[in-house]
Structure 1
Amino acid sequence: MEPLTDKSFVEGLIPQKAPFVMVDKLIHFSEEKLVAGFNVPEGNIFVENGKFTEPGLIEHMAQSVALYTGYQFYLKKEPAPTGYIGSIKYVNVNALPVLGSELVTEVSVLQEFMGITLVDIVTKCNDVEIAASQMKTVLAK
């Protein structure tokens, strides 16, 4: 697939709306993996002192998982359901990206069953891993 860089199209694949959108491109999609991107804009609600904060990184990672689900449903021509973070096993934040940074986040699907998705997530900035997490997301019934 060609990367999807139309911000409004990508935003339409997730339930979050501005100013709470933390993904702006879909770089790669397969049944086992998604790669999402986000350019940290000025005025972002999670930017403090010129840096994208830990809660912003966690929300970006969670929205990358939402983008995986949203794109799956888009391909099936069905509306994407709302999902929730069911649990976070761990989050490691090694560095905070600065304003204007390009984040590239890889979501690796470990298990998917009955609306529950277990994923490993790695976020990089300038090809350096800045954060990693394992999350379980649950689709609303």
Structure 2
Amino acid sequence: MNPIKQGDDLLQYIPQRHPFVMVTALYQHEDKEVVSGLTIEERNVLVNNGLLQEGGLIENMAQTAALYAGLKAAEAGKNAPVGFIAGIKHVLIEELPAVGQSIHTKVAIVDEVMDIQIAQAAVYGEDDRMLAKCELRIFIKKEENAG
């Protein structure tokens, strides 16, 4: 897969900043779906003993959802919104990726109710095996009007 955007170009779409950025590539963006990528580096704050920890996988899925919201806002001529995890359900962690591996994460928005996005998220390894998945409920803070 070749990235559409990568590195610091993604920072305009997500509220997170270094050293807590858990998406480094955008591979796909459609109406209700986004696919991000992340290469696991030793300096990643959520790496321990050479492995991206469970919290890193969940944060990667949440930041992929944030990337979707930021891309959608940019298409509407707005700034990237700030989102907060309102709930996580059905978490399954199959395997922790090691330093040097690249993962890709698919988030599909299954519903949007008021200011809450409900998303199905899954992380895949280089061999396309699923490493983790969950359902995310994300509260999207509305952009405040200036004035």
Common fold, TM-score beyond 0.5?
Answer: yes
Other-structure match for 2:19? 19
Other-structure match for 1:112? 112
Deviating 4+ runs (over 6 angstroms): none
Alpha-carbon shift at residue 90 of structure 1 (Å):
2.0
Amino acid paired to 2:29: F
Sequence identity percentage: 34
**Is the contact between residue 24 and residue 37 of structure 1 (CA under 8 Å) also seen in structure 2?**
yes
Matching of residues 47-126 of structure 1 within 5 Å: 47-126=47-126
Give the TM-score normalised by the residue count of structure 1: 0.94
Give the TM-score normalised by the residue count of structure 2: 0.90
Cα distance change of structure 1 residues 3 and 76 upon mapping to structure 2, 3 Å threshold: farther
* Separation (CA, whole Å) in 2 of partners of 1:70 and 1:52: 25
Other-structure match for 1:132? 133
Q: Which runs of 5+ in 2 are unaligned?
A: 143-147
**Is the contact between residue 4 and residue 10 of structure 1 (CA under 8 Å) also seen in structure 2?**
no
Q: Which runs of 5+ in 1 are unaligned?
A: none
* Separation (CA, whole Å) in 2 of partners of 1:25 and 1:43: 17
Q: Aligned-pair RMSD on alpha carbons? A: 1.2
Alpha-carbon shift at residue 140 of structure 1 (Å):
1.6
Which structure has the greater CA radius of gyration? 2
In the alignment, does 2:46 pair up with 1:46? yes
Amino acid paired to 1:9: D
